[in-house]
Amino acid sequence: MPIITFLPHKFILPEGGIFKANTGESILNIALRYNIQIEHACEKACACSTCHCIIRKGFLTLSEKSEKEEDILDKAWGLESESRLSCQAIISNSDIEVEIPLYNVHCT
């Protein structure tokens, strides 16, 4: 069972966290299962960039980016070469480390 490490985020997860994941599950679904409130305005439809995250370890073990995801990511602020939409990035059997960008604050 892979492990997903979320790095500390000032508002969403101040202490960070280490969680069990299921192979074939998206980063966003894992986060939501553990009550990590990553914004996802399009409800996982790959139509916005609010669930943008940066993969600090294990980037190459995730599912490949689709052309649509790449197009949407181009709109994300703070884009890096290891950026993914958490609703589209699917976990394999490998552990990963995820950074939620500071500007990604859950709106209530």
pTM as predicted: 0.93
**pLDDT score for 104:** 55
Rounded Cα gap, residues 50 and 72, in angstroms: 10
Decide: residue 49, CB within 10 A, 0-12 exposed, 13-18 middle, 19+ buried: buried
What is the share, in percent, of the chain residues with pLDDT greater than 90? 90
Which residue has better confidence, 107 or 66? Answer: 66
**Which residue's structure tokens are 């997903």?**
4
Q: What is the pLDDT of residues 65-81, one digit of tens each?
A: 999 999 999 999 899 99
Rounded Cα gap, residues 108 and 101, in angstroms: 18
Of 48-52, 54-58, 65-69, 73-77, the one with minimum mean pLDDT is: 73-77
Q: What is the pLDDT of residues 17-41, one digit of tens each?
A: 999 999 999 999 999 999 999 999 9
Question: Is the pLDDT confidence value at 60 over 50?
Answer: yes
Cα 51-20-29 angle, rounded to 5 deg: 30
**pLDDT score for 77:** 86
